[in-house]
Amino acid sequence: MKHNRNSKSEARNTKQIQMSKTENPKQYDLEDRIITSVGQASRLSENSAGQATSSAEQPMNPIGQPMIPVGQASRLPENRLSEKSWRRRLPHFQLSSGYYFITFSTHNRQPLLPSQKDAVFNAIHFLNQKRYELLAVVVMDDHVHMVLNPLDTLSRIMHSIKSFTAHQINKASNRRGKLWQDENLDRYIRDQEELLQKLNYIANNPIKANLAAKYGDYRWLYIKGWINDNA
């Protein structure tokens, strides 16, 4: 008898639900969708994992620049490179021995004229493969960043660059006096990860300083095998 009463009760409940769905179909349509979405949870999580894996391959826009995710837009100025874009586009450098990140600045932070930037940029390239292996350089308005593998002592390398460019610029400008600060900042690059960080910093430096819209437009920027490398 209890089984018969339970069956009748279930039948009444089923009939009430069907009548309620008829009276308010939108409510139960939403519930059906929720139930369906719960049933798809495992498939959605698999798709999400697949999307997370594929996100490492960052899409490029029609002019070949990386598309920055919305969450990064406030942190990265337009046309700057994201870390993922760097890892795809940067030539592979095998970190062997003795790479340094070097910074030196003009005396009293005196701005360099475009022709003076040319002189510094060309002098640094002239000494490439003579005093060092040059991986990257950027000549900014009042300072210079380089990544190099020295073939001579750092003190001799910096003396060569500074004395040659100071003499050349002073002669062309009909001026005398110091051009560069005596001090240099040099940091030994410990591993491949730090090398990528320094090259990334150099490439984005002109854009961050609003000296160029794109890193490829700044003619005093060089990264071996990639930017302004005509070899």
How far apart, in Å, are the Cα atoms of 36 and each of 47, 132, 180?
A: 16, 65, 70
Model confidence band, residue 211 (pLDDT cutoffs 50, 70, 90): very high
Task: State how far the Cα of 124 lies from the Cα of 7, in Å rounded to an integer.
Answer: 91
Predicted confidence (pLDDT) per residue in 50-105, tens digit: 443 333 444 443 334 443 333 333 333 444 544 445 445 545 444 556 899 999 99
Look at residue 9 in the predicted model and tell me its pLDDT. Answer: 52
Q: What is the pLDDT of residue 210?
A: 94
Report the distance separating Cα 106 and Cα 118, nearest Å: 15
Model confidence band, residue 45 (pLDDT cutoffs 50, 70, 90): very low
Supply the pLDDT for residue 221: 97
- Mean pLDDT on 10-24: 49
Whether the pTM exceeds 0.85: the reply is no
Q: Which two tokens stand for residue 57?
A: 């391959």
Please count the CA atoms within 13 angstroms of the CA of 221 that sit on its side-chain side.
19
- More confident of the two residues 96 and 183: 183
The most confident of the ranges 5-9, 20-24, 157-161, 227-231 is: 157-161
Structure confidence at residue 204 (pLDDT): 94
- Is the per-residue pLDDT at 186 higher than 80? yes
Mean pLDDT within 111-125: 97
Evaluate whether 34 touches 26 at the Cβ level (below 8 Å): no
Q: In the chain, where are the structural domains located?
A: 2-54, 58-89, 90-223
**Average per-residue pLDDT in the chain?**
73
pLDDT in tens, 141-167: 999 999 999 999 999 999 999 999 999
CATH number of 90-223: 3.30.70.1290
